[in-house]
Amino acid sequence: MIIPINAQVNLIIYSILAGVLTGILFDIYRLIRGFENPDVIITLVEDVLFWVFAGILVFIFLLCYSYVYMGTYLYLYIALGLYIYIKFISKYFLRIQFRLMKMLSKIFRIIKNLIIYPIDLLIYKIINKNK
């Protein structure tokens, strides 16, 4: 089956984008999992589940945006996209992601304190009245 040249160019572009998507998913997974390894078996299971999930998402991505013609060169372009992402973009994305998580945790902590403090104060007043 001969694929037109514009479809081949689209296939290359979407393959590189699929590699970048895999890199983004990997950085999100690294932040969720944490940087310490709790147990070898748990880490192995998490890694296998991540790569199965990433493979399914890349397949769906390529299914939506290309012919899903899985040639050898397609894997090379996905690896190229992943390499470009990890080499040039990953450290900035991790910094932004870490700052965002830090900011969100601070916001949630403030909201939690604003909700719980009046309840604690009310409970304290009730307990001291009964004494």
Q: What pLDDT, in 10s, does the model give residues 37-83?
A: 678 888 888 889 999 999 898 888 878 876 667 778 888 998 999 99
Cα separation, 127 vs 28, whole angstroms: 46
The mean per-residue pLDDT over the stretch 26-35 comes to 84
pTM for this predicted structure = 0.75
Give the model's confidence band at 24: pLDDT under 50 very low, under 70 low, under 90 confident, else very high. Answer: very high
- Which positions ≥6 away from 80 have C-beta within 8 Å? 16, 19
* C-alpha gyration radius of the chain: 23
Query: Of 71, 93, 73, which Cα lies nearest the Cα of 20?
Result: 93
Q: Residue 14's closest CA among 70, 77, 76?
A: 77
Pick the range with the lowest mean pLDDT from 37-46, 59-68, 102-111, 118-127. Answer: 59-68
Burial of 62 (0-12, 13-18, 19+ CB in 10 A): buried
Assess whether pLDDT exceeds 70 at residue 35. no
pLDDT higher than threshold 80 for residue 1: no
DSSP state of 22: H
